[in-house]
Amino acid sequence: MTKVKVGINGYGTIGKRAAFAIQHMDDMEVVGVTKTRPSYEARLAMKEGLPLYAASKENVADFEKEDIKVAGTFEDLLPKCDIIVDTTPGGVGEKYKPVYEKAGVRAIFQGGESHGVAGISFNAMANYHEAWGAQFVRVVSCNTTGLVRTLYPIDRVFGIDKCFAALVRRGADPGDKKGFALNAIEPSLKLPTHHGTDVQTIMPWLNIRTMAVVTPTTMMHVHCVTCELKKKPTENEVLSVWDSVPRIRFVSGKHGIKSSAQVMELARDLGRPRGDFMEIIIWQDGVKVEGHTLYYYQAIHQESDIVPEIVDCIRSMMKLEEDPMRSIRKTDRAMGIGK
Ligand code: NAD
């Protein structure tokens, strides 16, 4: 089978994880990754056997100074690719769009870009076919992915009249030197926050509002969600809906998992690569139904939940697999998700 040739533009937090996942698939391969600087991640890419390209000509000398031999620059990588996964920082991807357009190459943007950059926002379960054969698609952010993963199946089975989610966000990624105030909680003052609107790029019919605070942790986002449902389910019925769909995993306070730190410890105990958790985590004993109202908590591993979505998005855009569930299962099997 000829493999789809993928280039990763911006080998950082998301880029290196996307590259790792793609290298585990049998229908696609990474033909090169770009870096702006000769950081440890540049050496990591080489260790992983990934051809390394300087983001631009100006960066080449920096790599040479560090004795890192690059295979060329981004311009040399572009013609070798069927599709680019653009994992540059938020707002930078938009600047690359005309370059991808000119080269006639497909590109996947990330949640740091606006919906308009691609016009299609993606979640494998909810709208796989919208990306079918498209030139540009945006895989939504980690928070939006988390909300869509759990709300979409609930809406299909019980119908959601109204949803409110309060997002408790991590201040920075563990490897992020930007960081956040060590001892502060910062509310997002522009209300309602953009997260609800972002969910509507995939589920436009959903009546959802969100608020958010940023907290001094690097370990996951936690969402507190309430939904007014059209039908009146039992808690067990809600749990069995989530149990029947992929990329959702239950944990339980009764079994000692009471915080995001313990969820991350579980990921490490399970031997997950990088200690990542690509599933959305729901506290089974934190699910409550009162009449038509559903309450639940979920935790999102910000650095990794979108990674399997990127893989499925490639399959849809490159027309590799028509059935979303087959693509999802194939990705999850290869990544050890659900074990
Ligand atoms: P990052 O800063 O960790 O990585 C970005 C990479 O792009 C770095 O290697 C950087 O050197 C490189 N880069 C910077 N400018 C570049 C340029 N002009 N050309 C080529 N490469 C360049 O960022 P990230 O956290 O991986 O985020 C990437 C995208 O994914 C953003 O849109 C972000 O919003 C989104 N996202 C991030 C997270 C997260 O939690 N980290 C979660 C979901 C989505």
Q: Whose CA is nearest to atom 8 of ligand 1?
A: 12
Phi first, then psi: what are they for 8, rounded to 5°? -110, 115
Give 318's DSSP letter. Answer: T
CB count within 10 Å of CB 118 equals 24
Do the Cβ atoms of 296 and 305 come closer than 8 Å? Answer: no
173 Cβ below 6 A of ligand 1: yes
H/E run at residue 288: strand 288-290
Do the Cβ atoms of 238 and 150 come closer than 8 Å? Answer: no
Mutate-to-test residue for ligand 1 from 16, 37, 88, 139, highest number of ligand atoms within 8 A of CB: 88
Residue by residue, pLDDT tens for the chain (339 residues) are 799 999 999 999 999 999 999 999 999 999 999 999 999 999 999 999 999 999 999 999 999 999 999 999 999 999 999 999 999 999 999 999 999 999 999 999 999 999 999 999 999 999 999 999 999 999 999 999 999 999 999 999 999 999 999 999 999 999 887 767 788 999 999 999 999 999 999 999 999 999 999 999 999 999 999 999 999 999 999 999 999 999 999 999 999 999 999 999 999 999 999 999 999 999 999 999 999 999 999 999 999 999 999 999 999 999 999 999 999 999 999 999 986
DSSP 220-265: -EEEEEEEEESS---HHHHHHHHHTSTTEEEE-GGGT--SHHHHHH
Do the Cβ atoms of 171 and 181 come closer than 8 Å? Answer: yes
Q: Who's near 75: CB < 8 A, 6+ residues apart?
A: none
Centre of ligand 1 from the C-alpha of residue 327, in Å:
25
CB count within 10 Å of CB 156 equals 13
| Domains of the chain in sequence order | 4-140+306-335 (3.40.50.720), 142-300 (3.30.360.10)
Give 24's DSSP letter. Answer: T
DSSP 52-117: EEESSHHHHHHHHHTT---S-BHHHHGGG-SEEEE-SSTTHHHHHHHHHHHHT-EEEE-TTS-GGG
Give 142's DSSP letter. Answer: H
Centre of ligand 1 from the C-alpha of residue 233, in Å:
41
